[in-house]
């Protein structure tokens, strides 16, 4: 879920810190954990119910809130671990350039609190 790539050419080094941030508000843990399109299809529901699925909805993990919460907790733990490790690695780094890479844009997919992490 977290890894670092280091590239060196001549006297320039670049480290890319790849972090797991599926805890984004938009298209993040809620959508991943609900699995709405799969449940809607299986249950014969219109996929329009997947525009804003909520925990407890039948199209969100079959209505299983316990399973949904466990999934979100796992994603949050991966995100927190990734960010903690990235910060420690960046502090210890001697790279000329440091880049943080994530699947989701913090500015477009996260609330201000998560964006600041």
Give the mean pLDDT of the chain.
88
Give me the pLDDT at residue 20, please: 77
Q: Using alpha carbons, select from 29, 30, 49 the residue that is nearest to residue 39.
A: 49
Question: How is residue 92 written in tokens?
Answer: 């210890």
pLDDT, tens only, 75-110: 889 988 999 999 999 999 999 999 998 876 665 566
Confidence bin at 115 (pLDDT 50/70/90): low
CA distances 39 to 24, 89, 102, Å, are 22, 40, 28
Contact status, residue 1 vs residue 76, Cβ threshold 8 Å: no
Helix segments in 10-64, DSSP class H: 29-34, 36-43
């Amino acid at each position: 879920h977290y890894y670092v790539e280091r590239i060196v050419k001549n006297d320039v080094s670049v480290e890319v810190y790849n972090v797991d941030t599926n805890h984004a508000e938009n298209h993040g843990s809620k959508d991943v954990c609900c699995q709405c399109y799969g449940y809607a299809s299986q249950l014969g529901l219109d996929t329009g119910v997947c525009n804003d699925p909520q925990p407890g909805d039948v199209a969100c993990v079959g209505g299983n809130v316990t399973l949904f919460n466990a999934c979100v907790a796992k994603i949050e733990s991966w995100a927190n671990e990734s960010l903690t490790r990235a910060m420690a690695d960046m502090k210890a780094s001697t790279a000329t350039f440091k880049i943080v890479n994530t699947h989701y844009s913090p500015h477009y997919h996260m609330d201000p609190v998560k964006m600041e992490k």
